[in-house]
Structures are given as C-alpha cells and as structure tokens.
Amino acid sequence: MRSSEITPKRLYVRRREFLKLGAGSALALSLPAFAKAKVEHGPKLAGVTANPKYALPEEKKNAFEDITTYNNFYELGTDKSDPSENAGKLQTRPWTVSVEGEVGKPRKWDIEEILKSFPIEERVYRLRCVEAWSMVIPWDGFPLADFLKKHDPTSRAKYVAFESAVQPQMPGVKGYAGIPFPYLEGLRIDEATHPLALLVVGLYGEALPNPDGAPIRLIVPWKYGFKSAKSIVRIKLQETQPQTTWNQYGGGVEYGFYANVNPEVDHPRWSQAKERRIGEFSRRKTLMFNGYPEVASLYAGMDLRKFY
C-alpha cells in the first residue's frame, strides 16, 4: 500500500464530522433534480393559418416553457425534466416516415416533403395526461385523415400502428427505462380518420421542439397523452389491433388500448375524476373525452369501463 492511499491523520480524526457532513449532503443532493433546461425555439413555420373551429378562446394557453420542460418522453429519460435536459440527444434530420401495410401506395417520406405537401393549421387543444395533469396547447399540424388518404388505405386497413424513433444516443434507450423500445401506439381506423386526430409538426407557430416529439407526432386530444406517439418514424395500416407499449407492459396493467379520457374510470393507482391544469392551484373536474363530445359516436354501444 502506498502512503498516498493512507487517510491523512488530520482527516482520520475528523472522520465522524465527515460522515455527518456526507450524510447531510447526500440527503440534500439526492432530492429529485428540478433544474430545468431552457428549450430553444425552433424556426418559424411558413404559412400557418389558425383554424377558428379549434381555437378554444375560453381556455388560457400554457406557456412555451411549461410545454417544453414538463414532458413524458421515456426515450430521453423517465423524469419530467429529462426530455428538455436531453433534448439534444434526439436527432431530427435527416428524418423519414415510412407508411406501409394495408395501403395501395406505400411511401417513405422525407420530413421536408411532408412539411411542403400539407397545409399547416394551428389548433388549440386540451391535453390530458394519464397522470392527472393537463395543459392547453396551440399545435401546428394537419389532419391525420388527409395524410392517410394520400396512401389509399385498403378495405383491410382496420387499425393504424405508430412507431416512434429509437436512436442509439438516446439516454433512455441506452439505459433501463422500464418499457421496451421502440414505443408503439395505435388507433382504430375510424379514430385515426376522425377530424380531431392531428399530425403535429409545430408548436406556437414554430418547428416542434424536441421534448414534444419533433419533428412529427400524433395528437389525439380525447385520449390520454401517451396515445399521442412522439417522433414518429413508421405508420402501418393493418387488419389486426396493434400491440401498444403501455398495453404490453405488465399485461395491460397500466392502461388499455383505447385510453379515452374518462373521469368515471380510475387509473389503477389514482382517480381520474379531477386533474391539475398546469399553472393552476386547485384541481378541476376532468371532462368526458377531455371535452370533445363529438367523438362519442365512435364508441356507441361499447362498455367504456371494459374498453378503457
């Protein structure tokens, strides 16, 4: 043993003090980190027009900072602040979206082509997370129905499956996140072609920030947030109901395939009757289908307690 490895006597006699100091600072340091990284604004999107039908004038929009620093995006880490801190670990160019399966015209799109091919509109939607918090967000995008139509879905296209990107440098993908990757989501075809279902490429008129699922994501506002897959690389139309990440995980313990916002059906670990709007102090009542009653006809005759 080298003499340099021996603890100096001066420190040795003070070891108790050190242990105390160590215990104290370990306690302080081990608190969850709330430090949030500022997310940079993306370039302005050209030709965005606000759709007055989905303006939600009665709701107060959440700030850019809240929308970009409080996210669930397990590929970038499991803490709410991880996606903004690790935003740089998502590479959004080059980016291709492959449309395949039960379609007459399968196609691999470059993201730039998508941005040029579809007129982008702004829609203000409520977003209700399964964790009982919510936001009001001005998304920029185009109806998923318009996008799917371009590929001539066949009569066997009963469902649409979405696959999110997996990139080797993503911290959540490298480590243990508790769920398998790629992240998989899915919709029934009539849900996917509902006018509310949106493919989103922007936020507040600017290119979608990375923590929110850049460069292209799904938004289905009447369902819990996790249904709205982020950073999509593959859209597959198919005859059978697709496997989804949270449905697979733990044998569907976390949530079912439909995951419609429903104040009557509890989450296994908490009630869904109320929610906290980010920026508000008291909880507010959660609305059926997140306040989008126009989707109710999609589920006519279905027991929503069973198909939750």
Partner 1 sequence: MKKALVPAAFAACCVPLLWLGIQLLTSNLGANPIEALLDGLGYVAFVLLALTLACTPAQILLGWKWPIRIRKLLGDFCFFYACLHLLTYTVIDQGFDLRAIAKDVLNHKFIFLGISTWLLLLPLAITSTQGWQRRLGFRRWKRLHRLVYLAGGLASFHFLLRFKTPRLETVAWIGVVCALLLVRVVEAARRRARVIESP
By the criterion CB under 8 A, which residues form the site for partner 1? Answer: 16-17, 20, 23-24, 27-28, 30-32, 34-36, 65-66, 69-70, 78, 80-81, 133, 176-179, 246, 249, 254, 266, 268-271, 273-274, 276, 278-279, 281-283
Residue with smaller CB distance to partner 1, 54 or 246: 246
For residue 36, give every residue at least 6 positions away whose Cβ sits within 8 Å of its Cβ, in sequence order, or none.
Answer: 69, 81, 84, 85
State the nearest-atom distance from the C-beta of 270 to partner 1, in Å. Answer: 6
Tokens of 63: 């700030």
Tokens 């185009």 correspond to 142
Residue with smaller CB distance to partner 1, 118 or 249: 249
State the nearest-atom distance from the C-beta of 134 to partner 1, in Å. Answer: 11
> For residue 66, which of 80, 45, 87, 48 has the smallest C-alpha distance?
80
Residue with smaller CB distance to partner 1, 160 or 173: 173
Residue with smaller CB distance to partner 1, 76 or 216: 76
Task: Write out the chain in H/E/C secondary structure.
Answer: CCHHHCCCHHHHHCHHHHHHHHHHHHHHHCCCCCCCCCCCCCCECCCCEECHHHCCCCCCCCCHHHHHHCCCCHHHCCCCCHHHHCHHHCCCCCCEEEEEECECCCEEEEHHHHHHHCCCEEEEEEEECCCCEEEEEEEEEEEHHHHHHCCCECCCCCEEEEEECCCCCCHHHHCCCCCCCCCEEEEEHHHHCCCCCEEEEEECCEECCHHHCCCCEEECCCECHHHCCCCEEEEEEECCCCCCHHHHHHHHCCCCCCCECCCCCCCCCCCCCEEEECCCCCCEECCHHHHCHHHHHHHCCCCCCCCC
State the nearest-atom distance from the C-beta of 306 to partner 1, in Å. Answer: 18
Q: Say if residues 276 and 283 touch (Cβ distance below 8 Å).
A: yes
Residue with smaller CB distance to partner 1, 53 or 269: 269
Q: In a 10 Å sphere around its CB, with 0-12 CB exposed, 13-18 middle and 19+ buried, how is residue 188 labelled?
A: middle
State the nearest-atom distance from the C-beta of 161 to partner 1, in Å. Answer: 21
Residue with smaller CB distance to partner 1, 77 or 153: 77
Residue with smaller CB distance to partner 1, 170 or 235: 170
Residue with smaller CB distance to partner 1, 24 or 88: 24
